[in-house]
Structure 1
């Protein structure tokens, strides 16, 4: 009897590993760790035979209506767009900084403690696991019956698909919404390998931090070299900024917002703004 169950489990696992999946998660997070306000965004974990990609769902939605010759830029939230080979902890991270698309590598191994606690939610039998990872303490619930050792963002390596993972300070909660099997691999070349036709500029993490700090120190710097009357910024309805004096004031507001909203999921490498 045990042999039959074991064989069945192997075949079940092989079926999962031989398929491509798009697994949708909702990310509920706080940009400001002192705020009580949360933002919700949906992401897609694309599981392929040899690699996985964690993608902002709006990129996939936009990809259906835009072609590769369309030059546009999504504001990619919270350093969340990543790609890695299956069963590996080396990632390629993607980010847009002022209409430039960048990629940089990182290595983020994760170690889990699997707990005895179990529960059932939405018909899934779940088991608990905990980890101290990227500067935060995490609690995860995974699905042992779905043998995909992946999860949202850089959370992976559990013996089952991650259903939910959240940090101890209630800043970030990823929760499973949908598991969809694909008939063929979904082409992401227009939304991650390029950003609607724009290839990423490969940089180091150190260079990425330099770019973010420069962007903080000189918000909208390119506008300062433009002639008056040739540019304008509309940060909100009814407000137009089109002079250097107005830009100086707005730059201070932008800097304060950047510092206030500096609550990245990877707290271990958080940029320290002056």
Structure 2
């Protein structure tokens, strides 16, 4: 017969084992990643995306050939109304966009389709947790709101998986984010499925410099580069517009948030 002291020791050992197993467990959330910049509604390009995570780090991936099942580079038409039609290019790459958040080092490693490599601290987001709840994927989720990177976001996270990860750069809540969107859902991360702990072998995808010419840059340097590209594209568009018989003399620049997930408007 097992006495009380022995039973207590066994329970402590079992609890420690379960806690360690939970910490080493990996999971994956599959999302739809929809981008509808300037459209005012979630009607735009819809990518497959996933978030692979453990207790120490996470990696968010989208616009990759593997998730889409093929390489994509094609123009797509989106119609909001008879007078509002948008022609947008959908494109993927072998590696896709990667956002790797490493908690213990407070480090974010990221890569976009143009092979810009960003190394910086994990973005700090001042979330306001609300009382409103709803169920997503069988998990009870709580609403939170925050302003980040030029947009106002709503996120739905679950306390049932108390890890501070989410899609893209969204992080810092006391549970995994299963759904998130900005004001008009021009950026919309919607839930598809979750497996935690996963029974399959999973890997944290990390960005690595592709060649000797590549280098890590800060988020500030990345912002300056994207803003320069954005302004250059608009100037080219204005030049073409001015050659049109119906040219408009206005030379106003549209903000980045109408074109890019990374909005660095001043």
TM-score by length of structure 1 reads 0.61
1:23 aligns with 2:29: yes
1:46 aligns with 2:52: yes
Residues 186 and 128 (structure 1 numbering): CA distance in 2 closer, same or farther, change over 3 Å? same
> How far apart, in 2, do the equivalents of 1:121 and 1:76 lie?
29
Deviations 1:135-155 (A, max 9, x none): 222211112222232111122
1:265 aligns with 2:265: no
User: Which stretches in structure 1 are left out of the alignment for 5+ residues?
Assistant: 1-7, 66-72, 220-247
> How far apart, in 2, do the equivalents of 1:216 and 1:209 lie?
10
C-alpha displacement of 1:215: 4.7
C-alpha displacement of 1:36: 7.1
Structure 2 match to 1:132: 147
- Please list, as runs of the form range in 1=range in 2, the aligned pairs for 1:176-187 lying within 5 A after superposition: 176-180=191-195, 181=198, 183-186=200-203
Partner residue of 1:108 out of 117, 120, 123: 123
Structure 1 match to 2:93: 74
Q: Is the 8 A contact 1:193 1:200 kept in 2?
A: no
Structure 2 match to 1:70: none
C-alpha displacement of 1:40: 0.9
Secondary structure, in 3 states, of the residue corresponding to 1:17? helix
Structure 2 match to 1:56: 62
C-alpha displacement of 1:47: 0.7
1:165 aligns with 2:161: no
TM-score by length of structure 2 reads 0.63
C-alpha displacement of 1:16: 3.7
User: Which stretches in structure 2 are left out of the alignment for 5+ residues?
Assistant: 1-13, 72-91, 234-238, 244-250
After superposition, the CA RMSD in angstroms is: 4.4
> How far apart, in 1, do the equivalents of 2:231 and 2:128 lie?
41
